[in-house]
Amino acid sequence: MIMADTHVPKRARDLPSALWAAVDDADLVIHAGDWVDARLLDTLGERSARLVGVYGNNDGPALRARLPEVARLTLDGLRLAVVHETGAAAGRERRCAAAYPDTDVLVFGHSHIPWDTTAPNGLRLLNPGSPTDRRRQPYATFLTARVEDGVLTAIDLHRVER
């Protein structure tokens, strides 16, 4: 289960119930930054089977002390990296392929815009959007994904109904 840019409590008092249900069902929860308050990190940590997160540009010293700028993990041979910012959309695939050469999937946030592309070197770039602050998007969103035998076999973008 993949989320980013939750901005709790500035953009929402809490995460939407559909997102909490996805958290409860997930083997792994990934948060790509902009938590805003460490209480959400604590609550997600308690409710998640496994939590991997990074800090974002709106995260202060308390979160930065507990979270890395970049997180890396391997799931059944699939190499993932998580970061908040990747820069402008133009040239993103090329820049990220160069910055993360030993990575199969890069999860990022910041823009609040869902993103699913593949760089020429095969790096898959995923942004779940935001479940609480859709900005100019038609819906608030998050992602679920499945890894089987070291391969990303399913990515589903979920609309958050308010």
Kind plus residue range of the DSSP H or E element containing 153 = strand 151-160
pLDDT at position 136, please?
86
Given this model, what pLDDT does residue 162 score? Answer: 66
pLDDT, mean of residues 70-92: 96
Tell me how far apart the alpha carbons of residues 140 and 113 are, in angstroms, rounded to a whole number: 9
Q: Which tops the pLDDT comparison, 12 or 63?
A: 63
Q: Where are the domains of the chain?
A: 2-160
Residues 85-89 have a mean pLDDT of: 95
Is 150:74 a contact under the CB 8 Å cutoff? Answer: no
- Model confidence pLDDT, tens digit, residues 51-76: 999 999 999 999 999 999 999 999 99
Q: What residues contact 118, with CB distance under 8 A and at least 6 apart?
A: 93, 124, 125
pTM of the model: 0.96
Helix H or strand E segment including 97 = helix 92-99
pLDDT single digits (tens) 25-46: 999 999 999 999 999 999 999 9
The encoded tokens of residue 114 equal 């869902």
Residue-wise DSSP of 34-88: --BSHHHHHHHHHH-SSEEE---TT--HHHHTTS-SEEEEEETTEEEEEES----
Does the structure show a pLDDT above 80 at 48?
yes
Q: What pLDDT does residue 109 have?
A: 97
pLDDT of residue 13 exceeding 90: no
CATH of 2-160, one of 3.40.220.10, 3.20.20.80, 3.30.1340.10, 3.60.21.10: 3.60.21.10
- H/E run at residue 158: strand 151-160
pLDDT for 79 beyond 80: yes
